[in-house]
Amino acid sequence: MAADTNKTRRIGDVEVSAIGLGAMPMSIEGRPDEARSIATIHAALDAGITLIDTADAYHLTATDDGHNETLIAKALASYGGDTSNVLVATKGGHLRPGDGSWTQDGSPKYLAAAAEASLKRLGVEAIGLYQFHRPDPKTPYEDSIGAIRDLLDAGKIRMAGISNANPAQIRQAQEILGGRLVSVQNQFSPAFRSSEPELDLCDSLGIAFLPWSPLGGISRAGDLAALHPAFHTLAAELGVSPQRLTLAWMLAKSPHVIPIPGSSRPETIRDSYAAIDLELTPAQVAALDAA
């Protein structure tokens, strides 16, 4: 029987929940205490989420690198149920020096070391999905992707993805990886739609497209209704939150879209996951596309 694409989707050869959990808010500025973060991850697992997205750069100070990966490993280890079907996707190539800034290092030497460190923090033999976090202007893109290919060939990672990539880079990565590129993670939301070409390309190639900040980002998710009246109006008509409607709209755009809303509270990730049960008509999707 074919999988219900409303509830599950595929990344490479792995079936995952159609909505994932973006774990970044649990480790950067404004992060909650560990107990609430672990409760949020457990709530996501209880709801049925089987994709958790993290990165080694999701931390706050210069001395707590990998905070988010360590947190996820702890939450999975302390969960009472079976987690064997949970895909943890992490990333390398972005750095946080500790002053609030973000920098890049896409050198093969750095990526090899970063992947090893992520392996240890996650406590796995091979990383489920490893994504090159962001192109580094100091390193040729083909060299960075070549390093990801080497990790794949060595069995350090099970699947390879890229993030913050344009269509040319998607095609280049697919070629360098020998057709083994399984995902692209780009910013996409009602306010940020310039990744439509990448979404369309992934749809045509059969590659998963993972929108990051699908609700507009940590600081603006609560303002979604005020900033986007069409989403507010339809959500009110349907009796759901504008955030849930937004995720349902993304799911309706392509069977390859898997949003990864960030969350740091159990109630918000439960509401996000409920988007899988919200079916929109073609007319409703078209109206939101045009909004």
Looking at the annotation, which residues are catalytic? 58
- One-letter amino acid identity for 72? I
CA–CA separation, 249 and 241 (whole Å): 12
Question: What is the per-residue burial (b if ≥16 Cβ within 10 Å, else e) of 19-54?
Answer: bbbbbbbbbbeebeeeeebbbbbbbbbebebbbbbb
Q: Which two tokens stand for residue 138?
A: 């100091």
Distance CA 136, CA 213 (A): 21
Q: How far is CA 221 from the centre of its chain?
A: 16
Helix axes 282-290, 242-253, angle to 10 degrees: 100
What are the DSSP E strand ranges found in 74-223?
87-92, 94-95, 103-104, 129-132, 160-163, 181-187, 208-212
- The runs of H, that is alpha helices, within 48-186 are 67-78, 108-122, 141-153, 167-176
Cα dihedral: 136, 111, 177, 70 (round 10):
-110
DSSP 84: T
Distance CA 25, CA 48 (A): 20
Tokens of 87: 């895909």
Distances (CA, A) of 64 to 29, 69, 95: 13, 11, 12
